[in-house]
Amino acid sequence: MNLTAREDIDAPKDAVFAAVTDFDRFERRLMRRGIDVLRDESHADGLVGLRWRAPFDWKGKRYDIEGELVSIEPDDGFAVEAHSSGLICLGVVDLVALSKTRTRLMVSLDIRATSLSARLLIGSLRLAGGTIEHRFQERVSSFARELPGALG
């Protein structure tokens, strides 16, 4: 299952990159939603190798997501790989400078199943495809709308 979103932001590329790699901010947002995020920097070589663990309950079931920053290109983007209960997700953030003061943010998620129960979960997500895609786009759009004000 693939999800993609694209937004143009009225901010320079380096400022947008600083915002999308502000992992402390994303961790705080998840914690405000009741998700306990644990960061592990012991394997990190710079930022690459930075890991997170986020256990949470959803629809009566316990999930434990483990993510790792697998690549980062300064000012261009990064990729995070996450694993949980038969699911593998690769999240990629790419930035393209449209001008000195405008940047295109592209976010994609590729979700794959490695177990039968995970295949069933992805199947149910596909049935709600329009809703999931809309919510994903709305989250990216919300981030893009907030960003110019947050930058100052």
Span 90-118, pLDDT tens digits: 999 999 999 999 999 999 999 999 999 88
Q: pLDDT tens digits, residue range 125-138?
A: 888 767 889 999 99
Q: pLDDT tens digits, residue range 73-88?
A: 999 999 999 999 899 9
Give yes or no for a contact between 112 and 88, defined as CB atoms under 8 angstroms apart.
yes
CB within 8 Å of 75: residues ≥ 6 apart: 13, 14, 17, 95
Number of residues that this document lists for the chain = 152
What fold is seen in the domain 2-151?
A: Alpha-D-Glucose-1,6-Bisphosphate; Chain A, domain 4 (3.30.530)
pLDDT of amino acid 56: 80
Q: pLDDT tens digits, residue range 16-49?
A: 999 999 988 888 988 898 888 988 888 767 788 8
CB crowding 29-66: b at 16 or more within 10 Å, else e? eeeeeebebeeeeeeeeeeeebbbebebeeeeeeeebe
Residue written as token pair 């449209």: 98
pLDDT of amino acid 136: 92
Alpha-carbon distances, residue 116 vs 12, 85, 86 (angstroms)? 44, 10, 8
Residue 17: CB atoms within 10 Å: 22
Ordered by start, the domain boundaries in the chain are: 2-151
Give, to the nearest 10 degrees, the angle between helix 129-151 and helix 13-20.
Answer: 120
Torsion sign (Cα): 18, 111, 98, 47? positive
